[in-house]
């Protein structure tokens, strides 16, 4: 797992991380342009979330590749959708969920929102309502994500930026809108449980999540988790949900031991990369010799710093590799730690092995290409080009475009390099710089080639207002 450059980029670009790479979704061409979300890219975590989600998406008639799981670096328990193409899950959700089924339940609920067209309905109402300026302010995408709308049993309260809005002639409008949101939440529950039943999975995880947040109805809104604030929960709704879950023929189905292990490894990885070493060592004491605990401590040992930190961490990772030599992400982590320590060339064989064990891992492919660029030989540069071009077929991200530009510059291919920089800026939401580099490349690229056409699209792109 890597957080190599901790570069701030814009969604949906993907930083090539071999572990955790934090990116920022600022103002990209996609529908989430209003957001400023710190996103994390990691092969291990994305793979397990994809495995959780794909059966649900198929059951919902959404296919298996159309919707992406996105990871938001935030300690709060929350998940949300902005459109029909992405489901966003907070790292806090993954860290707090003790079992795969809890996360699966959350994803099932959000899938219900997608199939119900709830975000589209909200946008339509805001667009046509005479009070759309008020509604956009209170229920705009940003405030929904931030949990701006809260609701207890009657759903009349507004939290955060929404406080104090229910007054005068607007009260009826807001009450109506909140009632609509409660109906959407209940519909998402039922749809989500239908998807769980269709995939022969238990709804206990979903029920556990909402029962946990039902307890937050009686504490101050400022102390509530975002999921509780943005998913209003009534007593009747919880009772209906409990009945549906407990009467399901799959209520007693449990997660497999292997899936639980992957879940625990994911949580350990997040802890090791995102939490202070002292917190990690407290959460995973030395007496805990399970694989996840050893994973977390290996990372914490590295980030603790000091003399011998790298050697101690590498020794711990070697122990993990001795236990599970077939697990690609232990190899990936070893390569990442070496790169972080400035020993990039030493990382190459470990990243190669990680990619060999997980040949579809685009992010690992990008990480390996970045390591190869430390080698100034022509063969290494050529190999990095092959790796990066292949990675961009499956997963366009600005780090890969920038690394490819660097390789092209080294090969003397200036127009192609400028074209890649243009693509990177475009994905990062910087249209002005994207068009500048695209125009520079356009004059030297052969007309009609894929690079020329992509640059032409950037040059002629008009932001939606």
CATH number of the domain to which 430 belongs: 1.25.40.10
pLDDT 10s digits, 411-439: 999 999 999 999 999 998 899 999 999 99
Residues 239 and 311 reside in one and the same domain: no
Element (H, E) at 403: helix 398-410
The Cα–Cα gap between 291 and 258 comes to 12
Q: Could you tell me if 307 and 241 lie in one domain? A: no
72 - beta bridge partners?
39, 90
Whole-angstrom distance, CA of residue 229 vs CA of residue 159: 8
Q: 68-72 and 86-90: which strand pairing?
A: parallel
Judge if 310 and 369 occupy the same domain: yes
Is 464 or 52 the better-scoring residue by pLDDT?
A: 52
Q: Is residue 183 in a domain?
A: yes
DSSP states of 69-106 as a string? EEEE--SS--EEESSSSEEEEEHHHHHH--SHHHHHHH
Q: How many CB atoms lie within 10 A of CB 303?
A: 18
Domain span including residue 340: 290-459
Q: Are 148 and 239 found together in one domain?
A: yes
Tell whether 2 is covered by a domain: no
Length of the chain: 465
What confidence tens digit (pLDDT) does each residue in 300-313 have? 999 999 999 999 99
Are 299 and 230 in the same domain? no
Do 306 and 369 belong to one domain? yes
Whole-number mean pLDDT of the chain? Answer: 80
For residue 6, being part of any structural domain is answered with no
Q: Directed axis angle between helix 257-274 and helix 291-304, to 10°? A: 10
- Describe the strand order of the beta sheet including 79-81 as a list of residue ranges: 21-25, 37-41, 68-72, 86-90, 79-81
Q: Return the pLDDT at 83.
A: 75
Q: What is the pLDDT of residue 398?
A: 92
Cα dihedral sign, 337-340-342-344: positive
Establish if 80 belongs to a structural domain.
yes
With respect to residue 273, please indicate whether it lies within any of the assigned structural domains. no
Task: Assess whether 184 and 301 both reside in one domain.
Answer: no
Q: Do 412 and 353 share a structural domain?
A: yes
What's the pLDDT at 370?
Answer: 96
Task: Read off the tokens for 57.
Answer: 């998406």
Q: Considering 246, 271, 298, which residue would you say is the last residue of a domain? A: 246
Band the pLDDT of 187: cuts 50, 70, 90: confident
pLDDT bucket at 3, cuts 50 / 70 / 90: very low
Domain count, the chain: 2
Map tokens 């990675």 to a residue. Answer: 391
Tell me if 35 is assigned to some domain. no
Residue 270 forms part of a structural domain: no
* 253 within domain boundaries: no
Q: How confident is the model at residue 382 (pLDDT cuts 50, 70, 90)?
A: very high
pLDDT exceeds 80 at position 385:
yes
Asked which of 187, 213, 246 is the last residue of a domain, the reply is 246
Mean per-residue pLDDT, 157-185: 50
CATH number for the domain harbouring residue 198: 3.30.2010.10
Torsion of CA 327, 331, 333, 335, to 10 degrees: -170
Please state the pTM of the whole predicted model: 0.81
Do 232 and 324 belong to one domain?
no
Integer Cα distance of 279 and 80 in angstroms: 28
pLDDT in tens, 212-222: 877 655 554 44
pLDDT at residue 51 in the model = 96
């Amino acid at each position: 797992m890597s957080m190599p450059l901790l570069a701030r980029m814009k969604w949906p670009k993907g930083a090539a991380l071999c572990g955790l790479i934090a990116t920022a979704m600022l103002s990209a061409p996609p529908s989430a342009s209003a957001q400023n979300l710190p996103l994390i890219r990691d092969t291990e975590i994305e793979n397990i979330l994809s495995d959780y989600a794909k059966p649900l998406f198929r059951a919902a008639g959404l296919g298996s590749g159309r919707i992406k799981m996105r990871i938001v670096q935030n300690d709060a328990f929350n998940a949300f959708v902005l459109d029909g193409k992405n489901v966003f899950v907070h790292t806090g959700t993954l860290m707090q969920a003790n079992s795969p089924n809890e996360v699966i339940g959350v994803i099932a609920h959000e899938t219900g929102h997608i199939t119900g067209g709830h975000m589209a309905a909200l946008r339509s109402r805001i667009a046509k309502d005479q009070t759309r300026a008020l509604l956009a302010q209170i229920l705009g995408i940003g405030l929904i994500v931030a949990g701006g709308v809260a609701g207890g049993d009657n759903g009349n309260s507004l939290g955060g930026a929404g406080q104090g809005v229910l007054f005068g002639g607007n009260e009826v409008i807001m009450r109506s809108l909140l009632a609509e949101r409660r109906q959407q939440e209940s519909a998402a529950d039922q749809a989500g449980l239908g998807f769980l039943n269709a995939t022969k999975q238990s709804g206990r995880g979903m029920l556990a999540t909402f029962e946990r947040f039902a307890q937050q109805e009686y504490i101050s809104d400022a102390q509530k988790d975002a999921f509780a604030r943005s998913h209003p929960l009534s007593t009747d709704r919880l009772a209906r949900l409990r009945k549906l879950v407990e009467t399901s023929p799959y209520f007693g189905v449990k997660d497999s031991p292997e899936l639980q292990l992957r879940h625990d490894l994911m949580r350990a990885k997040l802890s090791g990369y995102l939490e202070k070493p002292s917190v990690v060592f407290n959460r995973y004491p030395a007496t805990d010799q399970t694989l996840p605990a050893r994973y977390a401590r290996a990372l914490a040992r590295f980030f603790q710093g000091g003399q011998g930190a790298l050697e101690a961490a590498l020794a711990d990772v070697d122990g993990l590799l001795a236990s599970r030599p077939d697990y690609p992400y232990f190899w990936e982590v070893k390569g990442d730690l070496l790169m972080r320590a400035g020993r990039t060339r030493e990382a190459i064989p470990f990243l190669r092995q990680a990619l060999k064990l997980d040949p579809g891992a685009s992010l690992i492919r990008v990480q390996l290409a970045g390591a190869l660029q430390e080698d100034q030989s022509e063969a290494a540069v050529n190999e990095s080009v092959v790796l990066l071009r292949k990675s961009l077929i499956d997963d366009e991200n600005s780090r890969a475009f920038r690394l490819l530009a660097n390789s092209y510059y080294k090969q003397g291919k200036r127009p192609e390099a400028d074209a890649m920089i243009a693509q990177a800026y475009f994905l990062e939401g910087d249209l002005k710089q994207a068009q500048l580099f695209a125009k520079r490349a356009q004059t030297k690229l052969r007309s009609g080639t894929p690079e020329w056409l992509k640059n032409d699209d950037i040059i002629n792109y008009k932001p939606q207002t």
